[in-house]
């Protein structure tokens, strides 16, 4: 009679030989164990391209943030410094020529500042918010022009319409600032 240990040992050896034969066959199929590098596929090329695009986007976002912060500081200086005195009317419904001249100069300075903002190229992620910021500030300038004209003509109704337009533009400005908040602090712009 054959012992159970003999049978178990024999089966284990058979399993080991079978496993070795299978591994050998597989190694033969892959070039004798040699590791082959698959040719670049659209997936590997897309991954490499995505990494390059991500690096460029990060660099572009950093440049955008720096440029927008610089613009924001200049805009805040313009509106807090000159803006407060430029729009100071003794009697808004009867402005003097000097008061009107100061207001017009301020409006032109704001227009130049918004034109400078237009030269800052936003990354695609924030292009819509950047355009919204420009539109909001353009609306603010239009409302200011309308208000100054209302003062010049003595039209209370136009002054009210200008104020309403200002409120609408301000809401748009606040939304744009909120959308850009993860990238740049525009609190100086929204406070003025």
Domain boundaries, the chain: 1-32, 53-191
pLDDT reported for residue 56: 52
H helix and E strand count, the chain: 7, 0
Token pair listed for 182: 């993860």
DSSP state of 154: T
pTM, to two decimals: 0.66
User: Whole-angstrom Cα distance, residue 192 to residue 189?
Assistant: 6
Query: Does the pLDDT of residue 30 top 70, yes or no?
Result: no
Q: 108-161 pLDDT, tens per residue?
A: 999 999 999 999 999 999 999 999 999 999 999 999 999 999 988 888 899 899
Check residues 22 and 100 and name the one with the higher pLDDT. Answer: 100
115 alpha-carbon distance from chain centroid: 19
pLDDT reported for residue 117: 94
Q: 40-87 pLDDT, tens per residue?
A: 555 555 555 545 445 557 788 999 999 999 999 999 999 888 877 888
| CB distance 150 to 162 below 8 Å | yes
């Amino acid at each position: 009679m054959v012992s159970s240990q003999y049978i178990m040992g024999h089966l284990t050896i058979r399993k080991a030989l079978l496993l070795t034969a299978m591994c050998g066959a597989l190694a033969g199929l892959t070039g004798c164990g040699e590791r082959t590098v698959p040719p670049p596929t659209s997936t590997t090329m897309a991954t490499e391209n995505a990494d390059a695009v991500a690096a460029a986007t990060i660099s572009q976002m950093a440049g955008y943030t720096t440029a927008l912060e610089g613009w924001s500081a200049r805009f805040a200086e313009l509106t807090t410094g000159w803006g407060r005195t430029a729009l100071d009317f003794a009697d808004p419904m009867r402005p003097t020529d000097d008061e009107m001249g100061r207001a017009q100069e301020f409006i032109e300075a704001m227009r130049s500042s918004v034109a400078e903002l237009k030269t800052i190229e936003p990354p695609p992620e924030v292009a819509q918010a950047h355009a919204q910021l420009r539109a909001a500030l353009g609306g603010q300038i239009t409302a200011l022009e309308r208000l100054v004209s209302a003062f010049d003509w003595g039209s209370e109704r136009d002054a009210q319409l200008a104020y309403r337009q200002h409120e609408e533009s301000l809401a748009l400005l606040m939304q744009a600032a909120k959308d850009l908040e993860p990238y740049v602090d525009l609190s100086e712009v929204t406070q003025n």
